[in-house]
């Protein structure tokens, strides 16, 4: 395992078939160009960049009122049908 700055990766150009980023870019200042440029640099031609982030401020109610939570689950269940 290596720990490194996502804007200065310690790998050669074209080292990877894929780059996976999870819950990182949401914490980087705008623009995120340095991180994306580094990911592109270390990817092989035609490589895959996958970015997964979340915005969970909708769940910032603590404690969540039980009736609100119940309603949320009702709505999600209805959409799944």
Q: By residue range, what is the domain housing residue 68?
A: 16-80
pLDDT in tens, 63-72: 777 788 888 8
Lowest mean pLDDT among 34-43, 54-63, 72-81: 54-63
Residue 74 falls within a domain, yes or no?
Answer: yes
Identify whether the C-beta of residue 51 lies closer than 8 Å to the C-beta of residue 18: no
Residue 38 falls within a domain, yes or no?
Answer: yes
37/54 Cα distance (integer angstroms): 21
Residue 7 falls within a domain, yes or no?
Answer: no
Residue 10 falls within a domain, yes or no?
Answer: no
Task: Judge if pTM exceeds 0.85.
Answer: no
DSSP states along 23-34: S-GGGSPSP-HH
Residue 4 falls within a domain, yes or no?
Answer: no
Q: Quick one: pLDDT at residue 44? A: 96
pLDDT in tens, 20-50: 998 888 888 875 688 999 999 999 999 999 9
Residue 57 falls within a domain, yes or no?
Answer: yes
Work out how many domains the chain is built from and give that number. 1
Q: Quick one: pLDDT at residue 60? A: 65
50/54 Cα distance (integer angstroms): 13
Residue 3 falls within a domain, yes or no?
Answer: no
Q: How far is CA 40 from CA 22, 56, 63, 73, in A?
A: 16, 28, 42, 39
Residue 46 falls within a domain, yes or no?
Answer: yes
């Amino acid at each position: 395992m290596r720990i490194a700055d996502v804007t200065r990766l310690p790998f050669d150009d074209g080292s990877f078939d894929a780059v996976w980023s999870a819950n990182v870019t949401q914490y980087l200042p705008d623009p995120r160009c340095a991180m994306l440029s580094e990911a592109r640099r270390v990817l092989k031609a035609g490589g895959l960049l996958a970015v997964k982030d979340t915005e969970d401020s909708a769940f910032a109610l603590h404690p969540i009122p039980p009736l609100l939570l119940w309603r949320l689950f009702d709505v999600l269940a209805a959409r799944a049908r």
